[in-house]
A and B are shown apart, each in its own frame.
Chain A
């Protein structure tokens, strides 16, 4: 099954194409001030690189976040409207899950960490990854890095854009500096689609993990 995967949770355009468990293309267009304007044009470029047209894709995977609130809204809207206008199936993939999946060969457990962009707050999710399958353990974490450190085992593999930096503050065994990849979103979406699971395109919603509050006005991501 050929699946397009996209994630704009960090403003960067992470776009990949997978066919079953095989990656056909995988690009990360670095975050720039105009990144969110480029996403659809970049999707076209990556599909061409994979030798496919949008019509030849069977499903769409969308990174839901957490991350930049504006970024995930754009990614989710693009995934939602591409699915709606082509009638293709769509799967929302939590960005932390896609990030953790990128460390699938590093051993388990994996903790994916995304910077919330304000006040030293991070988003994190702990996962078991084995034989190409991934499962989250417990709830998502939103808080400071010290709070996360207290709850992680020494065997944990830390993955995220600033994993090495965060590893210094905790006892994790390894750090893997990595950003979310479109191909990982596509691979995880393909797994779900092959199990005949999909999401309602129109209802697809960002995973903010942080409610908006009046106080958050000054620190929004």
Chain B
């Protein structure tokens, strides 16, 4: 380890909370052998404490904690027999709905799945539709939203937006999150229902 490397490590050193980290320990040991570095570290630590103290001096509005406690939502009492009845009712209702939908599918097949390629920006659909947010300035938010399971989409160069999905039961959000707000080419199966266009992702190519 040299002085520069030790400095880079110690730039993040905060005091006792970081003492357990072997990387910090090694850099601290090195600083003891270099008076100039040791002095720099003292100044850094003093500065860290000053900034921390200033920030921790910020006080919330008066009465905030009381307001939070007063308005606390009361969770519904859990009557398990009622919950069981409700669950059974939902299960039966869902089963009937699935059967009806299956029957309808046979009668009116999906407009044929078509293999296509779309080039455009990967969108976080929640923020895009609600707030028209996209582009590099929104990349980090989009990455986190897609990664946490929010719907993803792609906006083609002609302005058409596709909902991106994986095969049924297989999410592709983890892969898409890596390309949030970036322009990529996606190959997949396009299906359309009620004017809504979905692209089942088979391949992602970065430009």
- Bound together: no
